[in-house]
Each structure stands twice: as structure tokens, then as C-alpha cells.
Structure 1
């Protein structure tokens, strides 16, 4: 993309449109070309000039944001940043939008909007820039697959019955000493769905940092839990990392892994952002390197920036197996690229292979 990033704002609040236009307009690389109070007006303006990025509300008159998003994705896939309220209802609706192809979320409170957005203006600008860099062909392919969730693998498909009967007594003892650590950002909500819906309940415990605002991670985990064979939870302080369970770091807080004997548990902590993120992938990965060493499979997936690259190198140096999602299947090839540049990665692989590699890791002895 050459020149400025052309942005359209679609929100039924005139105040939101005004504040967002002013904040985005401060960045020399962004130009707000149009705004509209609802999707019907937006389509009229987009027929004149199509934007590079759309900042979209989800609850609007005449046509809701999710319907509009699906229409855009079917006509001309375009990066969309969801601008949604910090409410449980807003979070759940925004998760539907992410599943339909949106690439990022910006939060807006019900009150104190102007001050809130001005305090978080860096996040808004970064979200728009990350969206502009998104590989929309891959977003569309994941979204089309996501409309009908991937067929779940049964345990017999993952491990033949004869093999399972011989190893069932020992596999749990082995997997309780292993864990899988995943870090991801832009495009990660769809990518994690692709991976987690294919996993069986015998996989090692999984800990995940997905860059996402407060309140939205609970809705995200609930949605994944409803479509996966494994249990997916928003992490709470003290939760155990056990086979068949994935713990998602809560938005607005960091998550670390700690070890007690042969068991792992998580600590959810309040601390300043790291690499401009809270939760931070580096915080999780560094804790895993310290407490689990070689008993870890580290995976870094689609996302903008370099959060997680340093932590991945620390895991790699501690003897962990490390995987990066390849450029072709990333929505944004930022985080994996930085980890590769640091020499932190053992294997670069397409998104479609990651679930199988997790299953294979879980079956390894020693």
C-alpha cells in the first residue's frame, strides 16, 4: 500500500466519529476519507471511494455491524477494526464480528468517551496500522472456514485405539509435565479457532496470550469453549494448567506460569504494559522458560510488532521446542518474523499444521 492509509468511520454516535477522526488525523500516515452514521450511508460513500481500513461499530440502526461486515467480506474483503463498548454484551457481539473477519478491537466506554479515547489514542492508531497491513486473502479463507467450524478430530483419529490402550496409563503422567505456550495478536482470534477446534482432550495444558482488551477475552474464551473439544477458559489466578485445558490470559492483566512440584499453575498479575501490551506474550514466554525449560512447546503466531520474540528466544535457549506460523498464512507477519530473526525458532509451518504438531508433541515420551 502506497501513500496514506485511507480510513472510513462507521458509528451512529457523532461524538465517536468526531473524536476518532481527530485522533487518527494526527498521524501523518492516516487519512480519514469519510464517516457515516450507519452501514447504509457507508455503502453509498464506499461506492465513490473505497477505504483501506474501516473502523466499525457493531450496534447501529438500519443495519448492524456484523451484517455489514459479512457483506463487505463477501463483496470486497477489507480490513475492519471493531469499535465496541466495554460491556459484556458488547464483548460477545464483537467476538461474533471477529469470527466474521474483523482483524482488531478498539474499546469505547459508555461514559467519558472523549477522555478515554484520547488516553488510548496510540492503541487506536496501532490497530488501524495493523489492520492496513493485514493479509485479507488469508482472513477471508479462515472466515469462510469459520462459518462452518472445522470438523473436530476424534481421539481415534488422533491416536488409534490400540495405541491408546497401551499408553493411556502413562500418557497423563507424561503430559502433566509438559505444556504448550502460544502467543498471537492481529488475526489471532481466527487463527486460534482454527488450531484449538482441531485438538483432542489428551493434549498437554495450553497457555495463551492473545492481545485483546479487558472484558473481551472472557467472551472470546467462552466462544472457543463452546466449539472445541478441549476446555477453554479465561485464566484466573491459581488456575492449574492441565491436559485438555487452554487458559487465555485476561485482557488488561499479565499471565505467568509457575511450577509446584510436577504441576503448573498460572498467576494473573497487575503490572505495567510490556511492549505496549497487557497481557504481553513476552511476560508469559519468559515465565515459561524459567519454570518449564525443555518441557515446553512454544508457538508464535500472526501479529503485528515484536512482542514474544525475546521470550521465545529464552524458551529456545532453555531447550524448548519452538514453532512460528509461516508468512503465507499469517494475517500480519510481524511477531513470527521477529522471532525468526532472533534465531528463536526450530520450525516454521503453515497454520494448518499447528494443531497436528501440538498433538504430536503431546504423544512424545521424555
Structure 2
């Protein structure tokens, strides 16, 4: 199926570049381009695209104003095109809160950089977001048809992904460390979950969210202003404290270190071969290797499979495990990969996850 795209940007160069990058894939088609938000809303009515790429800084009507109007009148997947400056980070986080699903970087040096550096990522994000369960929920299952009884026959094993049937996380032993991994759609998911946790959360929480280095501190600061728990960008060597959430800095791995009463943060560029930096797998594996208490590991919405291998290792060490369900994921990639490995205790939609955490910690 061909994905129909509207490209919105005030720069003729960017419009042409994005169109070229997208249309080099046979299943992606730019049906129209727009120079600002007003032009975009008119093109939406005319062309009915499956997805919009949306610049933030534009004349007449900026991207955030346009995004609000899209979500109010034509809700559909939106991918922001964002600068990697501090100002761009703040505006992009605003856009994700307003309903945009993800973003791609708009480098100030884009005119001189290799287009191929972001083309593959752009194409894959457009494909995944256009099919997001957020905008394409599964229809309710039809009741099975009544058929005449017939003689029983031996059952034939079938290959299927076993979905955990539990309705709650194990209550005992209570976890002493909470670790969370997320990617596409994660900023909004974390913004829904963390404010529901009380200030007396009895454990530290380590979070890897795939995000550029200029975004993680503003993201942590924004969450800190919304939450009762303290949220901060993690720093090398700092001791872990109950009631504090540590966001991994972009561009470097965060590991669990065994020093101190509750452990500490370790930041390292290794392994440099990792597809993501920070990586959920790298964090989870370090916890599996070095933490001696009970762990509760959670994987939220995201593309790819980062975190599934690490969660499997944690499960082998006895960790409690939780994954976001397909119905609420922006992209059901990372949680699905964990479920397929058979290492998830409970699969739950996003609105229920904070409640499961509160019950487990008896809050």
C-alpha cells in the first residue's frame, strides 16, 4: 500500500529534499507540499494524505498552531521536522504533547550534509507512523459463528505469539528498582505515566528514551515540572535515590553501577556498535549483570526491538516485567519484540500502566 504524504515547510529546499528522500521509496508518495500552516490546512482538505511532515517555524501560521488545528479537525499521523537547538527541543516537546507522533532532525547544516544520513530513518518512520495503532485501531473481534457439533479431532500446534494472560504484576517480592525503555511515542507515554507516581515512590527509576542529546535535559526538566517525583537528566557517578527518576542523556549509554547503598549511574560511550545510544538493551543488561535486588522492567511504545534482549536477561534473573499493549502504542515494535521472546509478565494499555505500578509498590 502506498503512503500518501503532505510535506509542510517554508523552505523550498527542504520541501524538495524531503520529497526526493521520500519518493525514492516505491511505497511512499508526496501528494502535495505546503509553504506554511494555512497552505497546509487547505492542502489537507484537497488531498487527504495519510501522514504530514510538519516544520515548526513558518510564517503566517507556525507548525504548532497548524498541529493544533490538524488534531482538532483532521486527526492523522504527524511527523515534526525539528532543529536540534534548545529552542527546537522545547518546541518539539510541545508538538509531541499536542499529538505529533515523532520527529526527525532538521540540521542547520542540512544544505551541506549528506541526504543519505537521514533518508532511511525518515522513510521507516513515515511507514511506521502512517500505520500507527493510535490512528488505525484494530476492529473489535467478531463473535465466533455457531457451527454444528462434529467429532473431536487431535489439536494441531500452531505458531503464535503467546500474550500474557495475567491482570496484574506479581505483588511479591516488591521491586527495589524500576527501569523503563521507550522510543517512538515514548515522550507522551512517559508524560502520562510519571505524573501519576507519588513523591514517596520507594525506589529509583532509570529511563532510556531514544532522543538527541539536546533534547534530554529539556525533556527531564519538563517532566520534573509535571511530576511529584523528582525527574532529572542522569549524571555520571551520581548515587541512585528513591523517588528520583533518571533520564539517560542522549548520545551516551546509561548503565547501572553497583557502588553505593542503592547503586549509581554510569555513563559510557561503549558499546559504540549499538544501534541506539542510549540503548535500552545496554541499560537492562547492566542491571541484569550487577543488580542484586528485585527489578521491575517496563517497555513502552517504540520502533525496532531495543530492550527485548535485555528484558529477557532480566526475566531469567527473576525480574517482574511489563509491556505496553498494541492498542495504545504509537508503534508496536519494542513491546512486541519482548512479548515474542516470552519474557513479559503483563501486557497493558498505556492508561493502565501507572495503576499497575502504583499497586505493585503499594502506593
For the criterion TM > 0.5, the same-fold answer is yes
2:33 equivalent to 1:35: yes
2:79 equivalent to 1:85: no
2:125 equivalent to 1:135: no
Structure of greater Rg: 2
* 8 Å contact from structure 1 (residues 293, 320) kept in 2: no
Number of aligned residues: 327
Choose the corresponding residue for 2:102, options 104, 129, 149.
104
| 1:350 Cα deviation from its structure 2 partner | 2.2
* 8 Å contact from structure 1 (residues 58, 84) kept in 2: yes
TM alignment of 1:1-366, pairs within 5 A: 3-115=1-113, 117-137=115-135, 178-203=176-201, 204-271=203-270, 276-363=275-362
Distance change in 2, residues 1:273/1:337 (3 Å): farther
Partner SS state of residue 258, structure 2: strand
Distance change in 2, residues 1:322/1:24 (3 Å): same
Distance change in 2, residues 1:293/1:121 (3 Å): farther
| 1:126 Cα deviation from its structure 2 partner | 2.2
| 1:10 Cα deviation from its structure 2 partner | 0.7
Partner SS state of residue 251, structure 2: coil
* 8 Å contact from structure 2 (residues 301, 335) kept in 1: yes
Flag the structure with higher helix content: 1
Q: What 5-or-longer segments of structure 1 have no aligned partner?
A: 140-173
Partner SS state of residue 329, structure 1: coil
| 1:357 Cα deviation from its structure 2 partner | 2.5
TM-score of the aligned structures, taking structure 1 as reference length? 0.84
Deviating beyond 4 angstroms after TM superposition, the runs of 4 or more aligned structure 1 residues are 272-275
* 8 Å contact from structure 1 (residues 294, 318) kept in 2: no
Cα deviation 1:289-345 (Å, max 9, x = unaligned): 112255210001111221111111111111111011122222222211111110110
Q: What 5-or-longer segments of structure 2 have no aligned partner?
A: 138-172
TM-score of the aligned structures, taking structure 2 as reference length? 0.84
RMSD across aligned positions (CA)? 2.1
CA–CA separation in structure 2 for the residues paired with 1:238 and 1:74: 45
Cα deviation 1:60-117 (Å, max 9, x = unaligned): 1011111111111111211111111111011101110010011111112212444154
